[in-house]
C-alpha cells in the first residue's frame, strides 16, 4: 500500500472516530435528586451519574464552612451555608463528563475542591483513546513503509 494512501485511510478513520454522533441510548429522562455533602475539600458523593435529559436536583449540604457548586460546561452555580441546605435543579441536556467545583473560597485547597458530573457515557474519553490508538497505528504503519 502506498504510504500516502494509508495515511489518508488513517485520517479518514480518525475523523470517523472523532465526529459522528453515536446512537444515543434510549433511556427515558427522569427526575433525580442527589444530596451532596460539601466539606473542606471534597464532595460526597464526588461523582454523580445521570442520563442525558434527566432533571437533576442537587441538594447542597455544607458541613463545615460556606461552600458552593459551579458546574463546568453548564455554567450554573449555587452556594449553601451550614444548616441552610440549598437546592439547584437543572436539565442535564449536555452529555459528557463535567467537573463541578467549589465557587466560594473555602480555605487553602479551595481551587482543587472538585467533583464530577457524568451525563451519559463519557464520549470524549472513548473517542480520544480511539484517536490515540489510530494515531499510534498511523505513525507505525507510515514509518514502516518509509524504511
Partner 1 sequence: MNRSELISRILVYAGVVLVIGAPLVFWARTPLIHARMPEYGGWSPNIIHANVGEPLHLKLTSDDVVHGFAVGQMDMQSVDILPGKVTDITLKFDKPGIYTFYCTRWCGLNHWRMRGTIEVSGSPSDSEPASPPLYVSLNLDIDAPHDAPVVPAQKPSAIRGQGLIPNSPFLQSFDYYRSNSPYQAFLDLSNTSLTEPQRWDVVAFIWRSNTLSESLANGKQLYAQNCAACHGENGAGDGVFADDLTTAGESSMQTMEGAMDMIMQSPVDFTDPQRMLGASPALLQGKILRGGMGTGMPMWGSIFTEEQIWDLIAYIYSFQFEYQN
Partner 2 sequence: MTKIELTRIPFIKNAFKSRYPQLAVFIVMLIGYIFAILAGLIGTPVGSHNFSIVFVWIAWWAILILVAVPFFGRGWCAICPIPLPGEWLQRGAILTPPDKRPKWLNLRVPKMFRNIWLQNISFLLLALFSSVLLTTPNITGIILAAMLFTAIGLGAIFERRAFCRYLCPVGGFIGLYSQAAPIELRIKDKQVCVTCEGKPCYNGSSIGFGCPWDVFPGGLTKNTYCGLCMECIRTCPHDNIAVNLRPFSADLAKPSTRMDEAFKAFIMLGSAIIYAGVLLGPWGTFKDAAYNVGSSAWFMYAGIFLSIIFGILPGFFTLGLLGTKGNATLKHRFASLSITLIPLGLMFWVAFSLSFVLTNASYILASLSDPLGLGWNLFGTANTAWQPMLTSILAPAQALALVGGLIWSARTAQKAANEVKVSPIPVIVYCFIATSIMLWLLL
Instruction: Quote the least distance from Cβ 39 to partner 1, whole Å.
Output: 9
User: According to the binding rule CB under 8 A, does residue 106 interact with partner 1?
Assistant: yes
Among 85, 87, 89, 145, binds partner 1 (CB under 8 A): 85
Q: How many CA atoms lie within 13 A of 4 on its CB side?
A: 0
DSSP structure class, residue 53: T
Q: Which three cell numbers stand for residue 76?
A: 450554573
Apex CA 14: angle with CA 10 and CA 15, to 5°? 125
Instruction: Quote the least distance from Cβ 129 to partner 2, whole Å.
Output: 5
Residues 6+ apart with CB under 8 A from 73: 94, 96, 98
Residues 6+ apart with CB under 8 A from 4: none
Instruction: Quote the least distance from Cβ 40 to partner 1, whole Å.
Output: 8
Partners of residue 115 on adjacent β-strands: 100
User: According to the binding rule CB under 8 A, does residue 11 interact with partner 2?
Assistant: no
Partners of residue 105 on adjacent β-strands: none
Choose between 32 and 110: whose C-beta lies nearer to partner 2.
110
Subset of 69-108 contacting partner 2 (CB under 8 A): 70, 72-73, 75, 96-97, 99, 101, 103, 105, 108
User: According to the binding rule CB under 8 A, does residue 66 interact with partner 1?
Assistant: yes
Choose between 90 and 112: whose C-beta lies nearer to partner 2.
112
Site string for partner 1, 86-105 (x = CB under 8 A): ------------------xx
CA distance 15 to 117: 27
User: According to the binding rule CB under 8 A, does residue 84 interact with partner 1?
Assistant: yes
Amino acid at each position: 500500500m502506498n504510504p500516502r494512501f494509508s495515511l489518508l485511510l488513517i485520517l479518514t478513520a480518525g475523523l470517523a472516530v472523532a465526529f459522528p454522533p453515536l446512537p444515543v441510548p434510549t433511556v427515558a429522562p427522569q427526575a433525580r435528586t442527589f444530596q451532596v455533602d460539601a466539606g473542606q475539600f471534597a464532595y460526597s458523593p464526588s461523582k454523580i451519574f445521570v442520563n442525558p435529559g434527566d432533571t437533576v436536583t442537587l441538594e447542597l449540604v455544607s458541613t463545615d464552612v460556606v461552600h458552593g457548586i459551579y458546574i463546568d460546561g453548564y455554567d450554573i452555580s449555587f452556594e449553601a451555608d451550614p444548616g441552610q441546605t440549598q437546592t439547584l435543579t437543572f436539565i442535564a441536556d449536555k452529555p459528557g463528563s463535567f467537573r463541578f467545583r467549589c465557587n466560594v473560597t473555602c480555605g487553602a485547597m479551595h481551587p482543587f475542591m472538585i467533583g464530577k458530573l457524568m451525563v451519559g457515557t463519557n464520549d470524549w474519553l472513548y473517542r480520544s483513546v480511539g484517536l490515540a490508538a489510530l494515531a499510534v497505528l498511523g505513525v507505525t504503519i507510515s514509518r514502516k513503509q518509509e524504511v
